[in-house]
Amino acid sequence: MNRISQNYWRSLGWLAVALSGWVFQAAAQKLAPLDIKLPAPAFIGTPTDKAPDPNVEPVSKTPRAPFLAPEGVTNVAFKKKVTCSTNTPAERLAKITDGEIEPTENNVVMLPRNPQWVQIDLESPQEIYAIVFWFACDKPRVYHGVVVQVADGPGFGAGDNVRTLFNNDAANKDGVGAGTDREYFETNEGKLIDAKGAKARYVRLYSNGNSEAKYNEYTEVEVFGRPAK
């Protein structure tokens, strides 16, 4: 057998080993739909009679498909500490992770105009598979400057291993980089971000007003994950 043939069969052998490993990992990690509770729907269909903005996703006519994640994944943000870019009282910010998803006056946390952020400390590194959040889905609004990031450190600066999972801030008004994701009408489904198992301790969400007002609103943020190995 010449050297080329030997290399060929050796490559096939390594490929078979790699494929068997991937199959084993997939089989060992059973997936299940996330149990995401939704608030009552407030409207149906695209809520505007204006010409649609090409940068805004139309409202889907079908329910969101179930999101699959490894079995045992839960909302690791529940009751976790929330901080923000303003001097909003801590007891008010606690509403953002208290499990209350209905956009009532008591549940919606109002932040001032201009770009603002809220941040959740998950207390320890987590494997994050999905982040679901609601600003205020009681009326048809498009929220601007939406950016979702995760990091290992609380400062979200150099050395904190910051990763951006979603960014529709095309004009970079939040100051964290221009994004290419589209804006969207918020419905009772909120916005689900696929985090693809990112390992992080901190989650930060930016926003910069909406199509009706310049202030910022947050009802609930859920982070579905499990302790990082």
Parse the chain into domains and list their residue ranges. Answer: 1-29, 34-227
CATH code of domain 34-227: 2.60.120.260
Query: Does residue 17 register a pLDDT over 50?
Result: no
Residue 16: pLDDT band with limits 50, 70, 90:
low
Give the pLDDT of residue 48.
Answer: 56
Give the pLDDT of residue 26.
Answer: 44
- For 3, 74, 134, 142, 192, the CA distances from 65, given in Å and listed in that order, are 51, 18, 18, 22, 11
Q: Are strands 163-167 and 147-151 parallel, antiparallel or unpaired?
A: antiparallel
Give the residue-averaged pLDDT of 12-41: 69
pTM: predicted TM-score of the whole model, two decimal places: 0.85
Give the pLDDT of residue 29.
Answer: 79
Residue 11: pLDDT band with limits 50, 70, 90:
low
Smallest CA-to-CA distance from 42 within 110, 119, 109, 104 is with: 104
Q: How many helices (H) and strands (E) does the chain have?
A: 2, 13
Q: How many CB atoms lie within 10 A of CB 131?
A: 25
Give the pLDDT of residue 139.
Answer: 87
- The Cα 65–Cα 121 span in angstroms is 28
Which pair of tokens denotes residue 139? 């009326």
Give the residue-averaged pLDDT of 159-170: 98
Query: Does residue 53 register a pLDDT over 80?
Result: no
Query: Does residue 83 register a pLDDT over 70?
Result: yes
Give the pLDDT of residue 54.
Answer: 79
Which range among 40-54, 84-98, 105-119, 196-210 shows the weakest confidence by mean pLDDT?
40-54
Query: Does residue 52 register a pLDDT over 80?
Result: no
Give the pLDDT of residue 18.
Answer: 47
Query: Does residue 40 register a pLDDT over 80?
Result: yes
